[in-house]
A and B are shown apart, each in its own frame.
Chain A
Amino acid sequence: MLQCHVKGCNANNFPLELQEVVLEEQEAELNEDFLRNMLGKLEYEALVATCLKLNIQDLPPTIPEDAAYNDDFLQKLHHALLETHVITGKMVCPNCQHTYVIRDGIPNMLLAEHEV
């Protein structure tokens, strides 16, 4: 959901590409209502592309028509969204190549003075 915000970088800058990633899986309670709520807010293509980079290959390329009541799909979405955490890594802008660092599970989106 994060996007490059370097001044003048406004095209082809999403999704940021994850690199050198260390993942952690943490079990979380599945809440179908929440996932249904999220369906309308997701940029699904970007999510799938990012998951593929992380070798999470079980999400279908498009949201199934019956997504809201497709248990199998909701389970996979739940796993990708809520149980997979990037602990360390980099997010690289596909346009300007700016690198944002993730440390302790926290992405740093701060820019240096000259980039704002």
Chain B
Amino acid sequence: MLPTPDLSHLKQADYNHVYEPSEDTFLFLDAFEDDQKYLETLKPAISLEIGSGSGCVTAFVGKILGESSCLKLCTDINPRAARATVATVRQNKLTADVVETSLVEGLLPRLKGKIDLMYFNPPYVLTPSEDVGSRTIEASWAGGIDGREVIDQFLPFVKDLLSPKGAFYLVVIEENKPEEICNILHQDGFDSAKIRTRAAGRERLHILKFTRRTAPEDKH
């Protein structure tokens, strides 16, 4: 069992502005722990977390990979979250390069095909569309119709950013229609797997994992 990252530097006042790690976060950590061997073999040179919030997940992934073996990039649209991420990786004796931006704006085309490991715990909660697009803590959960508005905005970037060997992990709930998400990425050439599922209160959480479909073997 890997320990949960040290978050003792974040206080309740911080969590008024930054999403506090919760069941979804912990399920995400469990999925990465399950995949520890895979990640060690993958040996990502560059990782990217979208919406890193408190920084808990990147600190955990950083512990798995080892501080010096991977350039860890994070983005968050909420300036307080971006700073919380920096503080958390530092608290856990790690480093990460954090960018204040919406999803991955400003990272393309330079990082095209260069990300070996990408992960996103998106705003998946079903809300009115008007709630989407804030730069405050609301951005951590407000997902619009079917909780899919931000997810769907991001999906087209997966094929652009991931390296040939890259893997993408995504948190969703049942209401986001995971099969539909898998189908969308399938059309971009990705295989999908549901690697963890957990019921937490009213939410039925899933962790999806996507990798590039290997070309069918040439039989000739």
Interface check A107, CB cutoff 8 A? yes
For B195, the chain A residues whose CB sits under 8 A away are none
Interface check A38, CB cutoff 8 A? yes
| Nearest CB of A to B157, in Å | 13
Q: Count how many chain A residues have C-beta atoms less than 8 Å from C-beta atoms of the other chain.
A: 28
Proximity string of chain B (66-83) to chain A, C-beta cutoff 8 Å, 1 when within and 0 when not: 111111000001010011
For B98, the chain A residues whose CB sits under 8 A away are 105-106
Proximity string of chain A (83-112) to chain B, C-beta cutoff 8 Å, 1 when within and 0 when not: 000000000000000001000111111110
Contact yes or no, B106 A3, CB < 8 A: yes
Q: Count how many chain B residues have C-beta atoms less than 8 Å from C-beta atoms of the other chain.
A: 29
Contact yes or no, B68 A31, CB < 8 A: yes
Interface check B99, CB cutoff 8 A? yes
Q: Which of B79, B100, B108, B111 has the most CB of A within 10 A?
A: B100
Which residues of chain A from 17 to 42 have a CB within 8 Å of any chain B CB?
26, 28-31, 33-34, 37-38, 41
Contact yes or no, B83 A104, CB < 8 A: yes
Contact yes or no, B109 A106, CB < 8 A: no
Interface check B36, CB cutoff 8 A? no
Contact yes or no, B70 A106, CB < 8 A: no
A108: which of B45, B67, B100 is its contact (CB, 8 Å)?
Answer: B100
Query: How many Å lie between the Cα of A2 and that of B135 in the bound state?
Result: 21
**Which residue of chain B lies nearest to A91 when distances are taken between CB atoms in the complex?**
B106
Contact yes or no, A28 B110, CB < 8 A: no
Interface check A5, CB cutoff 8 A? yes
Which residues of chain B from 99 to 123 have a CB within 8 Å of any chain A CB?
99-102, 105-111, 114
For B111, the chain A residues whose CB sits under 8 A away are 1
A-B contact count (CB 8 A): 77
Contact yes or no, B100 A41, CB < 8 A: no
For B106, the chain A residues whose CB sits under 8 A away are 2-5, 100, 107, 109
Interface check B63, CB cutoff 8 A? no
Interface check B158, CB cutoff 8 A? no
Contact yes or no, B105 A41, CB < 8 A: no
Interface check A43, CB cutoff 8 A? yes
Contact yes or no, B110 A14, CB < 8 A: yes
Contact yes or no, A38 B100, CB < 8 A: no
A29: which of B45, B67, B108, B110 is its contact (CB, 8 Å)?
Answer: B67
| Nearest CB of B to A35, in Å | 9
| Nearest CB of A to B42, in Å | 11
For B114, the chain A residues whose CB sits under 8 A away are 41
**Which residue of chain A lies nearest to B83 when distances are taken between CB atoms in the complex?**
A104
Interface check B162, CB cutoff 8 A? no
Interface check B46, CB cutoff 8 A? yes
Contact yes or no, A110 B101, CB < 8 A: yes
Query: How many Å lie between the Cα of A104 and that of B107 in the bound state?
Result: 19
A-B contact pairs, 16 of them (CB 8 A): A1-B111, A3-B106, A3-B110, A30-B68, A31-B69, A33-B69, A34-B45, A34-B68, A34-B69, A34-B70, A38-B45, A41-B45, A41-B46, A106-B82, A110-B102, A110-B105
Point out residues on B near A: beta carbons under 8 Å. Answer: 43, 45-46, 66-71, 77, 79, 82-83, 86, 95, 98-102, 105-111, 114, 135
